[in-house]
């Protein structure tokens, strides 16, 4: 039974009515022992912000690389009174987001939503919502490679020691090299950060544009990597600093355009090709943010044009 739809013609309903869960499965799919194990690991992660805690990743009904880590984290903390939002690259309507939302709806019967402000639990792949989060919300990130030093030092045993001793010279060397050879630090996504002044962490492949949102965020941020079997956390109001040099400070991406749909000039924009002639538009990557602004009356250049909306 599927009543989970997102309207493509206008404003989507903000929240779906709660479904009854599929009684053939345990609540949220995972067994209670696993959930307890995960919660213990999560508590440890919260106690040591940015530190990668190993966990016993279970077999999930989708392969590695599709968000099993994030799903397991969400599954261990979701409760019947939660309101769940799932996004992928900022949008609620992409295939992955839809599937994961449907999965939880079926496994738990909780209410789902596309409205950031209404959700209590949000799972995301590769973006942080534009709408600022508040205390009491939990953001779960899907992480492919939790180890920020992986490309520089692939050996797990070595990186574990480097983290333990806070020896991050290797990372500084990498950034120095970027500046020496390219004139600036080349990373634009999965940009390494220092959490609570101690651990260097991979924020997952979010664009560096989103990094500042992690800093002193009132929400709890949890990260799960299923294939690598690690989870980590940033508790509310924790300092998160993007690594840089004093004289080459961290800078976010900027566009020369505003969103063609809602006119926002301060959100992360996706470039969309709209016809065979190669005409392109820039639109907000965060679909909820864009729609909310449109409902409030903001418009962008595309809405005034004749012809179809993208």
Partner 1 sequence: MTADDPLLSVQGVGKRYGARWACRDVGFDLWPGEVLAIVGESGSGKSTLLNLLALRTPLDEGAVHYALRADGSTPGGLHDLATLSEARRRLLARTDWGFVEQNPREGLRMAVSAGANVAERLMVLGQEHYGRLRGQAMDWMQRVELDGHRIDEHPTQFSGGMQQRLQIARNLVTQPRLVFMDEPTSGLDVSVQARLLDLLRSLTQNLGLACIVVTHDLAVARLLAQRMLVMKDGSVVEAGLTDRVLDDPQHPYTQLLVSSVLTP
Q: Just list the catalytic residues.
A: 50, 259, 262, 284, 290
**What's the closest the beta carbon of residue 31 comes to partner 1, in angstroms?**
39
What SS3 class is residue 1?
coil
Q: Among residues 4 and 153, whose Cβ is nearest to partner 1? A: 153
Q: Which H helix or E strand runs over 296?
A: none
Site residues (CB under 8 A) for partner 1, limited to 238-297: 244-248
Q: Which listed residue (2, 23, 95, 181) binds partner 1 by CB under 8 A?
A: 181
Q: Does 177 bind partner 1 (CB under 8 A)?
A: yes
What SS3 class is residue 270?
strand
# binding residues, partner 1 (CB under 8 A): 16
- Which runs of consecutive H residues, i.e. helices, occur in 55-214? 68-77, 95-108, 156-164, 169-182, 211-214
Length of the chain: 310
**What's the closest the beta carbon of residue 170 comes to partner 1, in angstroms?**
8
Q: Among residues 117 and 244, whose Cβ is nearest to partner 1? A: 244
**What's the closest the beta carbon of residue 240 comes to partner 1, in angstroms?**
17
Q: Which listed residue (179, 235, 257, 298) binds partner 1 by CB under 8 A?
A: 179
Mark 146-175 with x for binding to partner 1 (rule: CB under 8 A) and - for no binding.
Answer: -------------------x-xxx--xx--
**What's the closest the beta carbon of residue 54 comes to partner 1, in angstroms?**
21
Q: Among residues 174 and 213, whose Cβ is nearest to partner 1? A: 174
Q: Per DSSP, what are the bridge partners of residue 230?
A: 54, 225
Q: Among residues 104 and 199, whose Cβ is nearest to partner 1? A: 199
**What's the closest the beta carbon of residue 173 comes to partner 1, in angstroms?**
5
**What's the closest the beta carbon of residue 172 comes to partner 1, in angstroms?**
4
Cα→Cα distances 175→7, 156, 242, Å: 44, 21, 12
The shares of helix, strand and coil residues in the chain, as percent rounded to the nearest 5, are: 25, 20, 55
Q: Does 48 bind partner 1 (CB under 8 A)?
A: no
**What's the closest the beta carbon of residue 184 comes to partner 1, in angstroms?**
10
Q: Among residues 195 and 220, whose Cβ is nearest to partner 1? A: 195
Cα→Cα distances 18→26, 84, 123, Å: 17, 11, 18
**Contact predicate 126/210, CB 8 Å:** no
Q: Which H helix or E strand runs over 288?
A: helix 287-295
List of residues contacting partner 1 (CB under 8 A): 165, 167-169, 172-173, 176-177, 179-181, 244-248
């Amino acid at each position: 039974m599927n009543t989970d739809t997102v309207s493509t013609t206008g404003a989507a309903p903000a929240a779906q009515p709660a479904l009854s869960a599929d009684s053939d499965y345990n609540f949220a799919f995972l067994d209670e022992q696993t959930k307890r194990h995960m919660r213990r690991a999560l508590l440890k992660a919260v106690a040591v912000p940015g530190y990668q805690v190993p966990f016993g990743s279970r077999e999930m009904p989708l392969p590695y690389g599709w968000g099993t880590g994030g799903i397991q984290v969400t599954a261990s903390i979701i409760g019947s009174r939660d309101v769940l939002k799932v996004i992928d690259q900022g949008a609620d309507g992409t295939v992955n987001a839809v599937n994961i939302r449907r999965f939880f709806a079926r496994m738990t019967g909780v209410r789902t939503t596309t409205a950031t402000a209404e959700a209590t639990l949000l799972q995301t792949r590769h973006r942080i919502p534009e709408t600022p989060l508040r205390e009491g919300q939990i953001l779960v990130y899907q992480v492919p490679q939790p180890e920020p030093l992986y490309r520089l030092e692939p050996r797990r045993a070595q990186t574990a020691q480097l983290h333990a001793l806070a020896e991050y010279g290797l990372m500084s060397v990498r950034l120095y090299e970027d500046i020496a050879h390219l004139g600036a630090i080349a990373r634009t996504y999965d940009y390494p950060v220092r959490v609570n002044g101690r651990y260097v962490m991979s924020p997952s492949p979010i664009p560096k544009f989103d990094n500042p949102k992690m800093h002193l965020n009132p929400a709890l941020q949890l990260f799960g990597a299923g294939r690598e079997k690690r989870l980590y956390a940033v508790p509310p109001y924790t300092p998160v600093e993007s690594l840089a040099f004093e004289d080459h400070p961290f800078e976010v991406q900027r566009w020369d355009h505003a969103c063609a749909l809602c006119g926002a000039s301060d959100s992360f924009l996706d470039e969309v090709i709209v016809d065979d002639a190669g005409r392109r538009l820039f639109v907000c990557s965060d679909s909820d943010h864009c729609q909310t602004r449109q409902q409030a009356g903001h418009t962008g250049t595309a809405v005034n044009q004749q012809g179809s909306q993208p």
